[in-house]
Amino acid sequence: MKIAIMVNTGPYTHQASDTAYLFASAALRKGHEIYRVFFYHDGVNNGTRLTVPPQDDRHVVNRWSELADQHGVDLVVCVAAAQRRGIMDADEAKRHGNNADNLASGFRISGLGQLVEAAVQADRLVSFGD
């Protein structure tokens, strides 16, 4: 089965991001394909490399990055939601005159069209969070 996932909450504000990650990992282990994970609203905070949790806590952002690296999962951060929250890749930072970017490894920034495409291409779209 081809699955698309939407994550709407931040990594440490709600259980939804952890649950989405665990769901994606389990689906991959069972042989399913994760077509795309789309981070929307506060979910874009899963894509900032500036997240530094305590050493004894899970690192949600790194978990997502590792999933992308190990399984080729497409992690897309909504551009409008990301800009509102100060999350940018190098191109967006340059375009807005900022001298720094903070998008984590394995993530990319794009628009809502990527969510629509994922919903059309996948057999299921599973949403986590509000």
pLDDT of residue 46: 98
Q: How far apart are CA 75 and CA 77, in angstroms?
A: 7
Listed residue (116, 50, 119) closest to 87, CA to CA: 50
Q: Which CATH architecture has domain 2-128?
A: 3-Layer(aba) Sandwich (3.40)
Dihedral-angle region of residue 31 (phi above 0 means left; psi in -120 to 50 means alpha; beta otherwise): left
Q: How far apart are CA 9 and CA 16, in angstroms?
A: 6
pLDDT of residue 61: 96
Q: Does 82 qualify as catalytic in the annotation?
A: no
Q: How far apart are CA 55 and CA 59, in angstroms?
A: 9
pLDDT of residue 30: 98
- Among the listed residues 4, 5, 78, 82, the single catalytic one is 78
Q: Mind listing the pLDDT tens digit of every residue in the chain (130 residues)?
A: 999 999 999 999 889 999 999 999 999 999 999 999 999 999 999 999 999 999 999 999 999 999 999 999 999 999 999 999 999 999 999 999 999 999 999 999 999 999 999 999 999 999 999 8
pLDDT of residue 14: 87
pLDDT of residue 16: 96
DSSP 49: T
HSE value, Cβ hemisphere, 13 Å, CA-based, for 63: 16
Domain ranges of the chain: 2-128
